[in-house]
Structure 1
């Protein structure tokens, strides 16, 4: 049986593949409807639809370089319905740290919030 930690790491790997393939619409199921994302420069994006559109806009930029999020830790809450993922992200000479909050929704892990901090600029 797959552990929740393994399931979250697998979903993260899949989001990395979808970003590399520039498939924004396929990222939608990875976010709860009211998801929140704080970008590396401190901007705030509210809602899954706005997050997916932000990805699509990035993918349309000439010279877009895919970035990869690499989890270092995944911790479950005591009830097993929420999890905290933290790790490093990198892409196009820029990198930093991130944290994501996941929630189990109808048997599947989805992101409820993400925070990215840019630490290295190209």
Structure 2
């Protein structure tokens, strides 16, 4: 029995959150389309899976970085069943003087496409509001 697209995307989002918290950049690669485009919270653009993995690896070298946590509010499936859009809220966490703090947060949108039977991210937009 196959998993419903909504459940599959939510499960993949939970797994990316865990891999980010584990600071495991290399294992994030299968979640991104080769030509992924990301607009980060300050408006900067990252293009391509290699650039995404390099950006994560750079952040993971910061000993105070803890995690990005993305929490989906809704997932809408395209008519063809091959694309979906996820809307939600995100937070960025770090350690400051030993305490866990949220240093940035806001809404996000992610575009997923089904490739070789697996959902991958083709684009994300993060907006820093907090």
Shorter-chain TM-score tier: over 0.9
1:50 equivalenced with 2:51 (yes/no)? yes
Name structure 1 gaps, 5 residues minimum.
none
Inter-partner Cα distance in structure 2 for 1:73 and 1:52: 26
- Counterpart of 2:10 in 1: which secondary structure? helix
Partner of 1:101: 111
Aligned to 1:67: 68
1:6 and 1:28 map into 2 onto residues whose CA distance is: 20
2:51 is paired with a residue of what secondary structure?
A: helix
For the residues of structure 2 that align with 1:13 and 1:62, how far apart are their CA atoms? 22
Please, what TM-score do these two structures have when normalized by structure 1? Answer: 0.96
Backbone CA RMSD of aligned residues: 0.7
Q: Across the two proteins, how many residue pairs are aligned to each other? A: 120
CA distance, structure 1, for counterparts of residue 127 and residue 92 of structure 2: 13
Write 1 or 2 for the structure with the bigger share of strand: 2
Unaligned stretches of 5+ residues in structure 2: 94-101
The runs of at least 4 consecutive aligned structure 1 residues that moved more than 2 Å come to: none
Give the alignment of 1:1-122 within 5 angstroms: 1-92=2-93, 93=102, 94-120=104-130
**What are the Cα deviations for residues 48-81 of structure 1, in whole angstroms up to 9, with x where unaligned?**
0100110000000131121200000000000000
Following the alignment from structure 1 to structure 2, what is the Cα–Cα distance between the partners of residues 101 and 31? 10
Partners in 2 of 1:103 and 1:91 — Cα distance? 25
Q: TM-score, normalised by structure 2?
A: 0.90
